[in-house]
Amino acid sequence: MFNKKKKEEEPLVENNTAEAAAESTKDNVENTAAQAENEASEPAIELSVEEKLLQQVAELNDKYLRLFAEFDNFKRRTQKERVELLQTAGKDIVVSLLPVLDDFERAIKATEKSTEVAPVREGIELVQTKLKSILTQKGLKEIESLNTPFDTDLHEAITQIPSPTEEQKGKVIDELEKGYTLNEKVVRFAKVVVGA
């Protein structure tokens, strides 16, 4: 009887071991299948990441090309506007000077018939006054030079002469050509004679 029990227990142990081995084999097969799926899906993920990156590069390249084209168009447009501005920059001044030109033409016609100098002189002085007032409105100012200290920022010394008095040393004695500023910037230096 005792032996019978041993024999009965042995097949149970063998059955348990067989079941455990079968389960272990089943788990190994499932793990292997899962690993195979993971390995198969990893390249798919890598490809999709690569595809996304390539798509992103293409989008950025397209944005870059569009931005470059817009900038190129902007450069052309501003260059064209600058050329047009330079061509018409003096238009308002020229238009405002046309009446002065008309006055000079009238003065020339008047000198042909006139025998007296005084009325012609008055007409020319009126034209000069009109011209000066138009230029003053546009920002042109004369540089006052006579009896002022010589200033290299405003004057150009043509020559030096001995000064008649001690007070006039280093000062402008004579002005050969007037100097002008346009909106506080020197556009022509006054040509002067300086006392030494």
Tell me the pTM.
0.50
pLDDT in tens, 90-135: 777 778 888 888 888 888 887 777 778 787 788 888 888 888 888 8
Q: Domain locations in the chain? A: 90-138, 141-196
Place of tokens 């084999």: 25
**pLDDT (mean) for 140-150:** 86
Q: Which of 81-90, 153-162, 178-187 has the lowest mean pLDDT?
A: 81-90
Q: Name the CATH code of domain 141-196 (choices 3.40.50.300, 2.70.98.10, 2.30.22.10, 2.130.10.10).
A: 2.30.22.10
Q: How confident is the model at residue 79 (pLDDT cuts 50, 70, 90)?
A: very high
Confidence of residue 72 (pLDDT cuts 50, 70, 90): very high
Cβ(185)–Cβ(153) under 8 Å? no
- Position of tokens 């397209």? 62
**Residue 172: strand pairing partners:** 194
